[in-house]
Amino acid sequence: MRFIILYAVTYLRNITVRIDEETYKAIEELTRVEKTDRSTVARKLIARGLEHLRRERALKLYREGKCTLWKASEMAGVPLREMIDLAKSEKIPIHFSAEDVDEAWRAAFEED
Is 14 inside any structural domain?
Answer: no
CA gap 72, 95 in Å, rounded: 12
Which pLDDT belongs to residue 111? 56
Residue 95 resides in a domain: yes
Please check whether residue 36 lies inside any domain of the structure.
yes
> What is the Cα 50 distance to its own chain's centre?
6
Residue 4 buriedness (CB in 10 A; 0-12 / 13-18 / 19+)? exposed
Res 91: pLDDT:
95
| pLDDT score recorded for residue 9 | 66
For residue 1, being part of any structural domain is answered with: no
CA 107 to chain centre: 19
Instruction: Of 54, 44, 42, give the one whose Cα is nearest residue 15.
Output: 42
3-state secondary structure of 21: helix
Is the pLDDT at 4 greater than 80? The verdict is: no
Q: What is the pLDDT of residue 39?
A: 93
Residue 107 has what pLDDT? 76
Residue 81 lies in a domain: yes
Is pLDDT above 90 for 82? yes
In which domain, by residue range, is 84 found? Answer: 21-108
Would residue 2 count as lying in a domain?
Answer: no
pLDDT tens profile 20-71: 999 999 999 999 999 999 999 999 999 999 999 999 999 999 999 999 888 9
- Asked whether residue 70 is domain-assigned, the answer is yes
Write the single-letter amino acid at 93.
Answer: P
Q: Is residue 9 part of a domain?
A: no
Task: Please give the tally of structural domains in the chain.
Answer: 1
pLDDT of residue 103: 74
